[in-house]
Copies of this chain bind each other. A is one copy, B any other.
Amino acid sequence: MSVSIVGTYHSKVGRLKEETLYSLLVEAGKGALEDANLTGKDIDAVYVGNYSGGGFNHQEHLAPYAIEIDEGLRFKPCIRVENACASGSTAVEEAMMAIQAGKIKTALVIGVEKMTSLNTKGVTDVLAMASYYPVEGSKGYTFPGLYAEYAKGYMKKYGYSIEELYDTLAHISVKAHKNAMSNPLAQMHVEYTHEAAKSVHDKNPMIADPLKLSDCSLISDGAAALVLTTTENAKAMKDEVVEIQSLVHASDHLSIVEGKRSNYELTAAKYAVKKALEEVNLTIDDIDVAEVHDCFTITELLIYEALGLAPDGKGREALDNGIVYPGGKLPVNLSGGLKAKGHPVGATGASMHVLIARQLLGNAIGLQAEGAEIGLTLNIGGSGATNIASILKRIK
């Protein structure tokens, strides 16, 4: 049974001083219901993607709070899922399965995170719990440090020089910030120059060698929500809807530093993308627009290769030939991505699905990929242990 999106909502992303974990969850849930012209009574289950309400906000067991969105949700199943920064896509996945199981018809999916309740040190410590803590977080590894392992691994594997790396990563950072200028909900509306992003200097300090500040995504508050239902039901509700045609979730070993998986490619992400495309008999050439997990600029470079936009070790080509820029064959992260739109971690996967749905409906939040019909999301958790790829298509 196929599943479609009939309502979406995306909050502002940033340091939202007036908002709490609770207010963001309610804002997003109400917004998606309103967009779908539904009330709580029409919803059969709520799935909440949240990384660490415990660590950031002293709040586990968040899902039943969804009843505060609408009393009509009382006595419905409310479920929290957590898979680090891929919690939002996991919520989409589980809601889809409940619908496909025939157990429910319509689900509300909410991704939410409130990170700025802690200072930067506190946030870093909470995020470190998404690593394999005994071997990584507890030994001082931060997430910039874990992704620095990929940067170093990539340079070593392909003989990529630090100058080449910095030049390539600067292009990715500059693209993200430029795209975000058009996104009214983005956290940062500040353009970088290529030179500023390329070099290490006072305003662009080294965070985890070789990754600089300009290579890192943001600490954010935000939420996004979707209403999912059977495609049959969706078509009865709206003229045009967005179907989630495939969603593939592939896990890999939790730790990167133990050496049980690659440090120069996103092996399981590549696997997930390949399988998601195969399931619907498409190739990457059929995809019109993508939102992918640029938690660090190096991650986006590796994702170009995981998507098959460039051969292994030559991800840079996707930038050089213009594919991934606005107006290119496959614009990537028109929203500004995690780098500039922001990265409220548990919300990010839901955000990606909302952003692509809006692109395909011709109603983009920010830059529009003209005429886009088929889109892709790729959401990653931890240092590559959780990987979820979705293919979305506009249908009548």
Q: Does A60 contact B (CB under 8 A)?
A: yes
| A138 proximal to B (CB < 8 A) | yes
Contact B385 A61 (CB under 8 A): yes
Most chain B CB inside 10 Å of its own CB: which residue of A22, A58, A103, A249: A58
A60 with B55, Cβ < 8 A, contacts A75-B252, A75-B271 known:
yes
A234-255 contacts to B, CB under 8 A, are 249-254
Contact between A254 and B129 (Cβ–Cβ < 8 Å)? no
Stretch at the interface among A63-71, A213-221, A296-304, A336-344: A63-71
The CA-CA distance from A124 to B32 in the complex, in Å, is 36
- Give residues 28-73 of A contacting B (CB, 8 Å): 46, 51-55, 57-61, 63-68, 73
User: Which residues on B sit within 8 Å (CB–CB) of A252?
Assistant: 64, 67, 74-75
Protomer copies? 2
Given A75-B251, A77-B93, A90-B79; A382-B64 close (CB under 8 Å): yes
Residue A158 CB within 8 A of the other chain: no
The residue that A22 contacts in the complex, of B57, B97, B126, B134, with Cβ under 8 A, is: B134
Measured CA separation A133–B64 after assembly (Å): 13
Interface: A78 (CB within 8 A): yes
Cβ of A88 < 8 Å from any Cβ of B?
Answer: no
Once A54-B54, A251-B67, A254-B67 are accepted as A-B contacts, the answer to whether A61 and B82 lie under 8 Å apart by CB is yes
Contact A250/B75 with A101-B97, A385-B61 known, Cβ cut-off 8 Å: yes
B contact residues around A64 at 8 Å (CB): 83, 251-254, 381-382, 385-386
User: How far does the Cβ of A91 sit from chain B's closest Cβ, in whole Å?
Assistant: 10
A11 to B188: give the CA distance in the assembly, Å.
50
Cβ A78 vs Cβ B253 within 8 A: no
Could you tell me if B58 and A51 are in contact, using CB atoms closer than 8 angstroms? no
8 Å CB contact of A65 from B80, B93, B128, B254: B254
User: Interface residue tally of chain A, by bracket?
Assistant: 35 or more
Distance between A81 CB and nearest chain B CB, rounded to angstroms? 5
Instruction: Select A61's contact among B20, B68, B84, beta carbons within 8 Å.
Output: B84
Q: Which residues of B contact A325 (CB under 8 A)?
A: none
Q: Are A129 and B61 in contact (CB under 8 A)?
A: yes
List 19 extra interface pairs beyond A58-B138, A79-B249, CB under 8 A: A1-B101, A46-B251, A58-B137, A59-B133, A60-B129, A61-B84, A63-B83, A64-B382, A64-B386, A67-B251, A74-B253, A74-B268, A77-B93, A79-B83, A79-B93, A81-B82, A97-B103, A99-B101, A100-B101
- 8 nearest interchain CB pairs? A100-B101, A77-B249, A64-B385, A61-B84, A78-B251, A61-B130, A97-B101, A101-B101
Interface residues of chain A, those whose CB is within 8 Å of chain B, are 1, 20, 22, 46, 51-55, 57-61, 63-68, 73-84, 90, 93-94, 96-103, 126, 128-134, 137-138, 249-254, 268, 271, 381-382, 385-386
